[in-house]
Amino acid sequence: MHYKLYFSAMLVCGTFMANAQNAKPEDTEVWEPVPKTITPAKNFSTAPSDAIILFDGKNQDEWVNTSDKSAAKWTVAKGILTVNKSTGNIETKKTFKSYQLHLEWKVPANITGTGQARGNSGLFLASTGNGDDGYELQILDSYNNKTYVNGQAGSIYKQLIPLANPTNKPGVWQTYDIAWLAPTFDDNGNLKTPARVTVFFNGILVQNNSELQGATRYIGKAEYKRHGAVPIKLQAHGDKSEPLSFRNIWIREL
């Protein structure tokens, strides 16, 4: 539906269309100021008694393949869940609105690649399924790995720069502790209240009740489209670097 409207608009607005065609990923990259690097304290994670365990080290039963909703086919071994890039993104069977979530991720010690092509994954805080992926909290090896700062670990991709960079070196577990406040919409689909997110990254506050501009876009400006309770998604990024791993994923609905 939207592309039909867009097509009509472009017939009457050639100049606008020319500009849109010239849009590049680099247009929305921001490289400065670079967040201060911080060495985080060691920390441990145990799910509280009221949490829903999304991954406990034993199986991926709470997850499905995003593309066809079949059983998730990432690799579970030795208590950790490792991305299988050939099978694509996975998402929770359950749907959620607002929540608190804990997740741990680790980039392999032998990671290769640079910039966005080095240990890239992502936690889609709400997988909207509206033709967008949702709202991506970036996962990336951001230990001495330069990239645009609204695309480094702890950013809301292409929207919100993290307040600091507490990334551990590759091979060391990292933690995300997140409070997600889902956006709300009126009956006509108009935005009533925007999404907000608070993120502690290795115990360091990197998003402080930050307001989102809409669902993540790789190219162009973020935008809201109405949704209700939706799954949470983990990204199998298409870069060539070694796949990263997850453990101890739990959630508390708010």
Output the smallest distance, CB 140 to Mg ion, in A: 6
Output the smallest distance, CB 85 to Mg ion, in A: 12
CA distance 39 to 209: 23
Question: Which residues sit at the interface with Mg ion, rule CB under 5 A?
Answer: 120, 122, 235
In terms of CB distance, is 127 or 235 closer to Mg ion?
A: 235
158: left (phi over 0), alpha (psi -120 to 50) or beta: left
Output the smallest distance, CB 151 to Mg ion, in A: 8
CA distance 252 to 99: 6
- Nearest-CA neighbor of 148 among 27, 242, 20? 27
Output the smallest distance, CB 60 to Mg ion, in A: 20
Residue pair 89/236 in contact (Cβ under 8 Å)? The answer is yes
In terms of CB distance, is 158 or 227 closer to Mg ion?
A: 158
